[in-house]
Copies of this chain bind each other. A is one copy, B any other.
C-alpha cells in the first residue's frame, strides 16, 4: 500500500478513534452521534478495541439494523463476550434477527447450555433452518450455506423464474444467482438474475441456464471459497451427498473465509496458533499458549546443534575463530531456506506446483542456492579475512556455498513433501528448515574446516 494512501486512511481512523475515546468518558449522546456517522466497518473495529463494558454501552446505542449488521461482523469470541454482557431480552432479539448461517456460527462460540436455550427461543421455521446449518461440521461449506434463496423448477420459463424471484425477494439472502432444480431438488443448472432480465419472458429456462459450478456442504470452507474466487462467481449452489440443493454460498462469505484462512496461514508460518480475539483483547496467558508448543518442539530439536558442536569441540578448541562465523553461517542458511520455503508454500497453495514437479523444483532450487551462495561468499570474504586468516576465510566461503545450496533445496522440498503427506506445508516448513539448516550447516562447516585446516 502506498504511503500517502495509508496515511490518509490512518488519519481518518485516528480521528474517529480519538472522538470515540473522548465520548467514552460518559458523553453518550456524543458517542451515539459518532457511531451513527461512522462507516460500519470502522464501528466494528472500534467495538473490538473497546473493553467489554464500554463495548456493551456502545453497542446498545446502535440502531437495531446497524446493530445486527455490526454484530455479524464481530469475531465470534467477541460476540460471545458481548452476549454475556447484554440482557437476555436483547440477546434473544439479536439472535432472532441474524441470518441462519451467521446465527449458527454465533451459537457455536457460546456455552452449550446458553446456545440450546437461545435456539429453543426462536420461531419454529428459523429454529429448523438454524439446526440444519448446525448439523454440518464446523469449517465446512455447510456452515456458510444460506437456505434463504430462490430456486426455480427446470420446466419454468424465464418470465416465470423472474416472477419467482420477485416473490421471494423479501426473504432471500441473495437473488442474483438462481439455482434451477428438478423435482428431487437436484440442481440441473444456474441462471443469473441478469440473464433473466435480458431474456424474453417466453423463453424456456432450459435454453438459457448454465452448467452449475457447485460445492458440497461437506467440503472444506477453503475449497469452496477458492471455487468462488477462481470462477468470479457471486454465489454457488451448495449440495448434499445426494446432490440435492442445500443452500447458496455467497461471495461475501467466501471473502470472510479467505480472510480467516489467511489469518491462520500467517500464524502457522511463524509457528503460532491463530488468535481467536483481536490482539488487544487477548490475555498474556493466551498469547503464551498460542506460541509455546512450537517453541518447545524447536528447542528440543535445537539440542541437535549442541550435539554437533559438542562432537566438533576439539576442532573448536584448536581454532576458536571458527566460532565467530557460526551465527552468520546458520543465519544465512536459515534465510535462504525460508525464502525458498515461502515461495514453494505459496506455489503449492495456489496449485502452481504439484508433487510430480519435484525433480524440476529440486533442480531449480539447487542451482539457485549455489548461485546465491557464491554471491554471498564473495561478499563475506572481506570480513572473513579481516577477522580470521586466509585458510579460515576459505572455509567460511566454501561453507556458505554448500549451506545455501542445501538450504534452498530443503526449502523447496519440505513443503512439497508436507503436502504429499497431508500436512499443511505452512505448519512444518519454517521450523523444519531452521532445524535442518542449523544442524547440517554446522556439520558441513566443521567437515570443510577439518579438510582445509587439517584438524
- Please indicate which of the listed interface residues A213, A262, A332, A380 has the most CB atoms of chain B within 10 Å of its own CB: A262
Asked if A134 is an interface residue, CB under 8 A from chain B, the answer is no
Given A279-B344, A309-B323, A288 and B371 contact (CB-CB distance below 8 Å): yes
What is the distance, in angstroms, from A352's C-beta to the closest C-beta of chain B?
Answer: 4
Asked if B270 contacts A438 (CB within 8 A), the reply is: no
Asked if A302 contacts B279 (CB within 8 A), the reply is: no
- Which bracket fits the contact residues of A? 35 or more
A356 to B280, CA, bound (A): 12
Q: Mark A423-455, 1 if CB is under 8 A from B, else 0.
A: 010000011001000100010000000000000
Asked if A364 contacts B220 (CB within 8 A), the reply is: no
What is the distance, in angstroms, from A436's C-beta to the closest C-beta of chain B?
Answer: 12
Q: Name the residue of chain B whose CB is nearest to the CB of A363.
A: B284
A185 to B192, CA, bound (A): 29
Q: Name the residue of chain B whose CB is nearest to the CB of A366.
A: B284
What is the distance, in angstroms, from A349's C-beta to the closest C-beta of chain B?
Answer: 9
Asked if A339 contacts B271 (CB within 8 A), the reply is: yes
A183 to B255, CA, bound (A): 35
Kindly identify which residue among B6, B258, B342 contacts A269, using a CB–CB cutoff of 8 Å. Answer: B342
Q: Mark A221-257, 1 if CB is under 8 A from B, else 0.
A: 0110001111111100000000000000001101110
Q: Name the residue of chain B whose CB is nearest to the CB of A223.
A: B5
Q: Mark A258-284, 1 if CB is under 8 A from B, else 0.
A: 110011011101111001001110101
Q: B residues within 8 A CB of A270?
A: 338-339, 341-343
Within 8 A of B (CB), among A47-86: 48-49, 73
Asked if A302 contacts B353 (CB within 8 A), the reply is: no
Q: B residues within 8 A CB of A327?
A: 302, 305-306, 309, 326-327, 330, 438, 442
Asked if A114 is an interface residue, CB under 8 A from chain B, the answer is no
What is the distance, in angstroms, from A240's C-beta to the closest C-beta of chain B?
Answer: 16
Asked if A119 is an interface residue, CB under 8 A from chain B, the answer is no
Asked if A206 is an interface residue, CB under 8 A from chain B, the answer is no
What is the distance, in angstroms, from A42's C-beta to the closest C-beta of chain B?
Answer: 9
Q: B residues within 8 A CB of A320?
A: 313, 316-317, 320, 323
Q: B residues within 8 A CB of A422?
A: 3, 6-7
Asked if A1 is an interface residue, CB under 8 A from chain B, the answer is yes
A64 to B295, CA, bound (A): 54
Q: B residues within 8 A CB of A41?
A: 227, 230-231
Interface residues of A (CB under 8 A from B): 1-3, 5-7, 9-10, 13-14, 17, 39-41, 45, 48-49, 73, 139, 165-166, 169-170, 175-176, 193-194, 197-198, 213, 219-220, 222-223, 227-234, 251-252, 254-256, 258-259, 262-263, 265-267, 269-272, 275, 278-280, 282, 284, 287-288, 290-292, 294-296, 298-300, 302-303, 305-306, 309-310, 313, 316-317, 320-321, 323-328, 330-332, 334-336, 338-339, 341-347, 350-354, 356-357, 360-361, 364-365, 367-368, 371-372, 375-376, 379-380, 383, 387, 419, 422, 424, 430-431, 434, 438, 442
Known: A193-B197, A234-B251, A299-B379. 19 other contacts (CB 8 A): A6-B422, A13-B354, A17-B354, A41-B231, A266-B345, A267-B342, A269-B342, A271-B338, A279-B344, A280-B360, A284-B367, A284-B368, A292-B372, A299-B332, A302-B327, A302-B328, A317-B320, A334-B434, A335-B431
Q: List 11 A-B contacts (CB under 8 A).
A: A39-B231, A175-B194, A193-B197, A234-B234, A278-B352, A280-B353, A288-B375, A291-B336, A295-B376, A299-B376, A303-B328
